[in-house]
Structure 1
């Protein structure tokens, strides 16, 4: 079968039900949906971004496996945020208490909540402004702690409830603070690619 590019008009809006149908029919395509129904198709990442993503996800998964404080997710998971958007952070975590409030059906679909913690990693082709808006959207929907990592410039923006964004230049690591007690995200391999 020949593959053809799909161009989606910016004015196209899809409902939650249509988004779920599109996602089910296109499992190999990373899709997001804004709160206003705009469909976003995210291209696959390159090798260096993939290496960085797996390192970030692996560190979060390992900490969570050791502590059993919640549930860790990779970039394939879309969350249905309270504002109606469907977002897929590069890595995410939800406390066990919040996860357990969901039904099995909700856990098996797009979880209808905003993660407690997210990491977004800037890819080579990403513009920072849309990523910053996405991080603000997470905050507006209940995010407790988030990191936007710009590996190219070795910069990290930290997002917290009711606080200004903190920008760190060339940090060696990041703390999970009170949200992920004892979690330390080492950035050596993320910045070395």
Structure 2
């Protein structure tokens, strides 16, 4: 099978409606849309990143299942941020109170809100600069707590409203603080 690259001109801008149609027609392709209408096609992850993603998502899901405080999401979920971007964090969480303000239709499509918590896990092929910009975009759209995990360098950047980014070197765990009360992410499985 021949692989044919898709080249999208930088002048092409996609509307929200077009993005939704593209996403529905290409369910196996991870897509994001920037606030300026640029379409981003994200490559699939490798085995180690996929393994780390499921470990993280599983821990978040289990905590949420026990507490019932909100709704946890995996990397397949795109959120329509207030600035018009459609972003898919590697893991996310929304409080039950905020989730319940959405209509059934809004919950079924790309939820029109920024998660309370979002996590990005650096893949081997990822450049840190775009990931940091994405984390800042989440903050600008209402994110309360964000973690950017760089497994390659065993480093975590913590993003909070109205605070400088905190950088941790080789932490063994992360606290969900007041946003995810009682949640502690075990990073030992991520560093392996």
TM-score between the two structures when normalised by the length of structure 2: 0.98
Runs of 4+ that moved beyond 6 A: none
In structure 2, stretches of 5+ residues that fail to align are none
What's the offset of the Cα at 1:133?
0.2
| Per-residue deviation, residues 2-57 of structure 1 (Å, max 9, x unmatched) | 66321222222101111011101100000000000000000000000000000010
**Matched residue of 2:20: which SS?**
helix
Question: For residue 139 of structure 2, what is the aligned residue in structure 1?
Answer: 139
Question: For residue 95 of structure 1, what is the aligned residue in structure 2?
Answer: 95
Distance in structure 1 (CA, Å) of the matches to 2:141 and 2:2: 40
In structure 1, stretches of 5+ residues that fail to align are none
When the two structures are aligned, how many residues end up with a matched partner? 192
**Matched residue of 2:5: which SS?**
coil
What's the offset of the Cα at 1:128?
0.1
**Matched residue of 2:52: which SS?**
helix
TM-score between the two structures when normalised by the length of structure 1: 0.98
**Matched residue of 1:13: which SS?**
coil
What's the offset of the Cα at 1:80?
0.1
Distance in structure 2 (CA, Å) of the matches to 1:121 and 1:32: 16
